[in-house]
Chains A and B, each alone.
Chain A
């Protein structure tokens, strides 16, 4: 009865949301991704028995798998933390109605049990169990093992929500989970405590003596109860209405004055970045952007792939440019109407954002100079891409911004928050990153490294020379789409 109502509400919420039509492209993309993963897991599930036999022919396949399960669990915890969110339900309108709080909480939690993250592993576990039975493993034991695997997946599911609610109040929200997963891995790796053995022994014990499956089930129930209590305590109006009142740290940022007429906008942009959750966590991600090269350069294979230098260069010097730039002017969507009724020069407004992006490119390039350790060519390539970012990408992304039609709520956190993302943001990524990489790679292959570097620098300088002209064009584009933007930004998504 109640369940039907809840499902009905969510159905309507999905299909009647203002951005439904626009998000259909993203939904299709997600559906393809889902099918892709299901395919991979099915493949693994069917052939895992054979693969394990090849990996370790002296050992029983199930034993080999059990010894890997610890790493699977760690990986799952980390991935879920970033991608899986507790199903959201707008609870406020329900609170004054005669619906029991516990019913709402139970609904939300049970719904999460059927999340894609919990279904996906079944596509591997079930075929694997079938192959085990086909290969004459005892049926009851295999079923007990399968049940344990399913229970463990659910345990991770509910553990994740506890982790999330624990870390959501912290500034660097992803730190706790990285520390947890990292230290578990390290303890295991350095043989301080061998979790992989412990987990393997646990699974083997249940396999030999199915009654032990009760232990993980008890753990699961415990986690469910903790989640239940935690959520129920949050289900009061006070807790959603009461907002933490931040103490203001006002600084008058006199140094921006030297930028002349764009100073007020620069001050506003800097405050925007420092005082809102979404922008603040974006700034934290800068560290990842800067260190991005360390994923590649330490490996000699990549050091010979020179076209990768351009890609990494664009990405690491342009990280802020891309992340901040793609949401211009949506950052100001909350008060866009006011800006449009004020006596502002649009060109100044845009130039302030432009200057910020340029400064970020210069700073990120300077901070990235230590990459010279991996070879002077890398540094030169990064320099070229920095110039390209300044001259070309900055203008491209500003131009792309005039197609922005999605409002941004500044108080939500940033990592994997797709709010405000439309098809344009995906399309604009192509000229920003792929184009310089292709140009660089092609010239490098046809002519040589110097020519490739020269080409990127030349394009960048060309953009800088034409800056005034380009800005006039871009400003015109923004003015042309003014009414559409105002209309879109005043819609709640």
Chain B
């Protein structure tokens, strides 16, 4: 589904990302972990064509991301709060995204209705603007907005941060369901090793912009990751 080839990104000569080859098949739940500055958000921004690659490119469903815009209809993302429009209510925001993705109000309503327990009664019908919601609730609205329009690829940057434990558990359920039952390719980044190992079939570790580990998730994965990040790994 997503193929990365010879990709690199440098800011004024300093290389922050270099991925020679990375393929993500359709329907995979893909986890990206790494310390601050490892290049996770840079990779996602390149994937969304928000920044221009220095060399190489990413192909999303055989569309070269920085050359054509045809990947947009089947790709959606929530990177940070700057994806929200502060002066809209959550409902208005969902409808707006819906219209951009060719869905009418009824479609959006029926999709959003499935997430009532995820919202925990704090998003819908509150008569509040998004800018007045708490960080956690903003995140919930942003994540659900990324699911509108039945995209084939969903990109979520740090979706677990700022969420309360109940919502974290529910979000894990949602992501698993998307990948396993609906065949959606889900890309998630996180600092929380436990969450990613719970949710993702495959985990890639970035370090200083390069892929240092590419793991199929199994029982030993969490231990291996913990060993890697605590620096006590046996070579």
Contact = CB atoms under 8 A, between A and B. Distances in A.
A276 interface: yes
A341 B65 CA distance: 11
Interface in B43-59: 48-52
B127 to A, nearest CB: 5
A248 B49 contact: no
A341 B77 contact: yes
Contacts of A335: 82-86
Contact of A334 (B79, B85, B96, B128): B85
Contacts of B50: 337, 340-341, 483, 486
Contact of A337 (B79, B96, B131): B79
B50 to A, nearest CB: 5
Interface string A333-357: 0111110111110000000000000
Interface string A2-31: 000000000000000000000000000000
Contacts of A344: 72, 100
A268 B92 CA distance: 9
A410 B101 contact: no
Contact of B96 (A264, A275, A276): A264
Contacts, number: 81
Contact of B86 (A267, A334, A337): A334
B100 A410 contact: no
Contacts of B76: 341-342
A250 interface: yes
A245 B132 contact: yes
A450 interface: no
Interface string A220-258: 000000000000000000000001011110100000000
B49 A271 contact: no
Interface centre among A340, A343, A344 (most CB of B within 10 A): A343
A443 B89 CA distance: 52
A338 B51 contact: no
A274 to B, nearest CB: 9
Contacts of A410: 86-87
B123 to A, nearest CB: 13
A247 B127 contact: yes
Contacts of B88: 268, 271
Contacts of A243: 131-132
B180 interface: no
A483 B52 contact: yes
B6 interface: no
A245 B100 contact: no
A364 B166 CA distance: 54
A337 B102 CA distance: 20
Given A335-B82, A342-B72, A487-B51, A276 B132 contact: no
A341 B69 CA distance: 9
B115 interface: no
B83 A272 contact: no
A29 B77 CA distance: 43
Contacts of B192: none
B214 interface: no
A27 B171 CA distance: 50
A490 interface: yes
Contacts of A264: 96, 99-100
Contact of B48 (A263, A268, A341): A341
Contacts of A334: 82, 85-86
Interface residues of A, number: 29
A486 to B, nearest CB: 5
B132 A246 contact: yes
B92 A271 contact: yes
Size bracket of the B interface? 20 to 34
Contacts of A271: 87-88, 92
Given A264-B96, A271-B87, A483 B51 contact: yes
A334 B80 CA distance: 11
Nearest to A245: B132
A490 B82 contact: yes
Contacts of A338: 82-85
Contact of A343 (B73, B82, B84): B73
Contacts of A276: 87
B119 interface: no
A312 to B, nearest CB: 34
Given A337-B50, A486-B50, A248 B128 contact: yes
B88 to A, nearest CB: 6
A246 B79 CA distance: 26
A250 B48 CA distance: 32
Contacts of A267: 96
Contacts of B87: 271-272, 275-276, 410
A344 B96 CA distance: 11
A38 B84 CA distance: 47
B111 interface: no
Nearest to B75: A341
B124 interface: no
Contacts of B85: 268, 334-335, 338
Nearest to B128: A245
B63 interface: no
Interface in A172-227: none
B145 to A, nearest CB: 9
A340 B77 CA distance: 11
Contacts of B163: none
Nearest to A263: B99
Interface in A342-382: 342-344
A483 B52 CA distance: 7
A296 B89 CA distance: 44
A397 to B, nearest CB: 23
Contacts of A490: 82
A179 B223 CA distance: 71
A10 B105 CA distance: 50
Contacts of A483: 50-52
A343 B101 contact: yes
4 smallest CB-CB distances across A and B, nearest first, come from A338-B83, A343-B72, A275-B87, A264-B99
6 contacts: A248-B128, A335-B85, A337-B79, A341-B76, A343-B101, A410-B86
Given A245-B132, A263-B99, A410-B86, 13 more contacts: A246-B129, A268-B85, A268-B88, A334-B85, A336-B82, A337-B82, A337-B83, A341-B50, A341-B72, A341-B77, A344-B100, A483-B50, A486-B51
